[in-house]
A and B are shown apart, each in its own frame.
Chain A
Amino acid sequence: MKILVVDDSQFARGVIGKILSEGIENSEISYASTGEEAYKQYTLINPDCIITDLLMPGVDGKMLIKLIRHSDTNIKIIVISADVQKSVKQEVEEYGITLFINKPLDQEKQSLLINAIKEV
């Protein structure tokens, strides 16, 4: 399974990558640190699932989701964000996402993430 992880924090990318590589067999994980880079990666590698942060410099997570949804309504998108606002969660859910998880990822949230990806 090809998964694209998008987060401007290297630490956050590392944490998510470790959870995915330990929780999902035969996962091919790619990384992007900006929305722009993520969109390029998306067009190149055609991932099965995208995991993205929201608050990033330049093209942020919301914009990235909108860009992808413009041409692809099928790909699964999971948001992992520090933003706890209900209004933000509702807004991105309207764009069509599979799951919204708040950082940091404790054991419960890690299981939620893995299970959601396995259903892809």
Chain B
Amino acid sequence: MLTPMQKDVLVELFNIHVGASANLLSVMVNQKIILSIPEVELLSGSELNMFSFEQAGIFESGEAVMSNVKFGGEFKGSAYIMFPAAKAKALVSACLREDLSTEVSENGNLTFEELDVIKEICNVTLNSVIGEFGNLIDEKIEFTTPNVEFNLVSSMTPEIIKGKNKYILVLLTSFFIESISVKGVILISLDDSSVKIIINKINELLEEQNE
């Protein structure tokens, strides 16, 4: 659905935006963040089944922390950040500059304050990625306050990500926080009108390049 050139531009844009977001996350946890090359796919609902979380090689089993923000305006969709629940405590500890040795396997071991830290990490990271898209397309984006959930990986079906949208632009990247070995994914789903807005912008950029 995307030409190789359009895809190339989108990967580059996403790379820049996620890079900026990782920089912010790095400041918060005071750790170096290693990013993967982002994967970008424009998929229909049925194809999304092929794009499982297992393919990201991150959630082999167990529970995951998933935070999402919905965003609206002309450009609308949902953005998700996910990482293994067992690493949530380590991420919080890094943020609070505490001892990094502790890990937990259940969300019950996280206090309200620790969940609040997770929410703030996700808020800053996702707002940065999506907000930069708003700057790119010159449209103001309205965000909801972030939501944090603990889910079994097996229960996180593509339908959750897809929602009511017919076509989904999936932007997937993984990040690795070196000293605490936290690996996670950022995933953004957009509806078809928002996809068109981005594609139009990409075409504009390509035309400018060819002038």
Contact with B along A50-78 (1 / 0, CB 8 A): 00000111000000000000000000000
One digit per residue, 1 when the CB lies within 8 angstroms of any chain B CB and 0 when it does not, for chain A 27-67 equals: 00000000000000000000000000001110000000000
CB distance from A33 to the nearest CB of B (A): 10
Instruction: Select the stretch in B6-14, B45-53, B124-132 that faces chain A.
Output: B124-132
CB distance from B147 to the nearest CB of A (A): 11
Among A57, A87, A104, the residue within 8 A (CB) of B145 is A57
From 66 to 103 in chain A, residues with beta carbon under 8 angstroms from any chain B beta carbon are 81-88, 91, 103
Stretch with Cβ within 8 A of A (4 or more), from B102-110, B114-122, B163-171, B196-204: B114-122
A84/B127 contact (C-beta < 8 A), A56-B145, A57-B145 known: yes
Cα(A103)–Cα(B24), bound, Å: 8
Q: Which of A8, A57, A91, A104 contacts B124, CB < 8 Å?
A: A104
Distance in Å: Cβ of A85 to nearest Cβ of chain B: 5
Query: Smallest CB–CB gap between B93 and chain A, Å?
Result: 13
Stretch of B133-141, B152-160, B182-190 that contacts chain A:
B133-141
Question: Known: A55-B123, A104-B24. Is A85-B145 also a contact (CB below 8 A)?
Answer: no
Main secondary structure of the interface of B (DSSP, over half): helix
Q: Once A and B bind, how many residue pairs between them come within 8 Å at the CB atom? A: 57
| Residue numbers in A under 8 Å from B139 (CB-CB) | 87
Query: Does residue B5 face the partner (Cβ distance < 8 Å to A)?
Result: no
Contacts of B113 in A (CB 8 A): 10-11
**Contact call B27/A106, Cβ cutoff below 8 A:** yes
What 1/0 flags go to B1-28 for Cβ under 8 Å of A?
Answer: 0000000000000000000100010011
Q: How far is the CB of A113 from chain B (nearest CB, A)?
A: 15
B140 with A84: CB separation less than 8 A: no
For the complex formed, measure the closest distance between the CB of B95 and the CB atoms of chain A, giving whole angstroms: 7
B143, CB-defined interface residue at 8 Å: yes
